[in-house]
Amino acid sequence: MENIVLIPGDGIGKEITTAVTSILDAAGAEINWIECKAGEMAYKELGNPLPDETVEAMEKYRIALKGPLTTPVGAGFRSINVALRQKFDLYSNIRPAKSLPNIESPFRAVDLVIFRENTQGLYFGKEMWMDEEKTHAESVAVVTRKASEKIITSAFDFAVKYHRKKITLVHKANILKLTTGLFLEIGKEIAQKYPSIEFEDLIVDNMAMQMVMRPERFDVIVTTNLFGDILSDLASGLVGGLGITGAANIGDDAAMFEAVHGSAPDIAGKGLANPTALLFSALLMLEYLDKPRLAEKIRSAVYTVLQDHKDVCTPDVGGNGTTFTYADAICRLLRD
């Protein structure tokens, strides 16, 4: 039995975590879920968006499956997602985007993986007002050699392990010459150590255009925090939307698995949320736990349901079903 911290989170979080844990149980994953609170709900119930018990459970068990957390826009508490990533030094945010069967998209053969630096960049969270009238705000972007080396090396190691051919490093070193310039310089150095992997670099605006014109040409992408955040939502759009792309936050001795999407307040409580994104995050977790065959068995059941039982799927991918008709169909296949 693996002990895994489960944070259902806000908005659609409860629906999709219930669906995903039922699928993992049906597949025989043998997980003991340690349920913990975080986010807006925790703030309303306990006055703290990141309760001590949740941090203690993360410190003890080191692996979490997390639903989305609402972050107030403008004023209010700081992002708990960012706080957790920084606290446990989860420096690699890995976000695969792959074309799926029977899902409408202009592209058929997208299979890319974004490695986003997860603890620094403009996401560092150091912002300040420069005058008392609050008419002038500034934000600090942080890029260090140490953190850049870690994320870029993990992207290259991933490419070698999974027989990927090319790394594209994305930057804005023509303008942000010191911060993303440093990231690019380190990428070029590290690329020398991996002669079997092709290496290229692209400026982020060009990258955004190339991704929507010819996404099939990309393989593994590595970039700084904010660029990775934006490009990975873009990548989700290339393969059918936010409901179907999972993600992993991995550090040297802790990991947290969560979907790319947020708490989707517009559809929360309606049974319309697609749990595939969180399920694919859970499959990354099974691979991390060295259970690739179990992950493959579940992925294959998902593909079968998308291909042969589209009616039970959620509306975002063209179905007429709900979170639970879809999860039930996958569970049934896994139990057969």
CB of 328 to ligand NAD, least distance (A): 17
**Which amino acid type is present at position 191?**
A
Active-site residue flag, 172: yes
* 277 in contact with ligand NAD (CB under 6 A): yes
Taking CB under 6 A as the binding criterion, the range among 54-62, 152-160, 264-272, 285-293 that sits at the site for ligand NAD is 264-272
Helix (H) or strand (E) holding 23: helix 13-26
Calpha distance 106→91 (Å, rounded): 32
* 262 in contact with ligand NAD (CB under 6 A): yes
User: Can you tell me which of 187, 243, 246, 321 binds ligand NAD, judged by CB under 6 A?
Assistant: 243
**Binding map of ligand NAD across residues 10-29, x = CB under 6 A, - = no contact:** --x-----------------
* 267 in contact with ligand NAD (CB under 6 A): yes
User: Can you tell me which of 21, 120, 245, 263 binds ligand NAD, judged by CB under 6 A?
Assistant: 263
**Residue of 157, 205, 308, 311 with catalytic role:** 205
CB of 11 to ligand NAD, least distance (A): 7
Active-site residue flag, 229: yes
Beta strands in 206-245 (DSSP E): 220-223
Taking CB under 6 A as the binding criterion, the range among 63-71, 83-91, 107-115, 162-170 that sits at the site for ligand NAD is 63-71
Calpha distance 21→70 (Å, rounded): 21
Q: Exposed, middle or buried: residue 268 (CB in 10 Å: 0-12, 13-18, 19+)? A: middle
| Between 77 and 194, CB nearer to ligand NAD | 77
* 242 in contact with ligand NAD (CB under 6 A): yes
* 69 in contact with ligand NAD (CB under 6 A): yes
Between strands 198-203 and 92-98, the pairing is unpaired
- At residue 33, φ and ψ (nearest 5 deg) are -85, 125
Calpha distance 135→101 (Å, rounded): 50
CB of 247 to ligand NAD, least distance (A): 8
- With a CB cutoff of 8 Å and minimum separation 6, the contacts of 181 are 171, 173
Calpha distance 77→270 (Å, rounded): 27
Calpha distance 14→19 (Å, rounded): 9
Taking CB under 6 A as the binding criterion, the range among 67-75, 101-109, 129-137, 159-167 that sits at the site for ligand NAD is 67-75
Taking CB under 6 A as the binding criterion, the range among 129-137, 140-148, 269-277, 326-334 that sits at the site for ligand NAD is 269-277
Structure tokens at 214: 């010819």
List active site positions: 123, 172, 205, 229
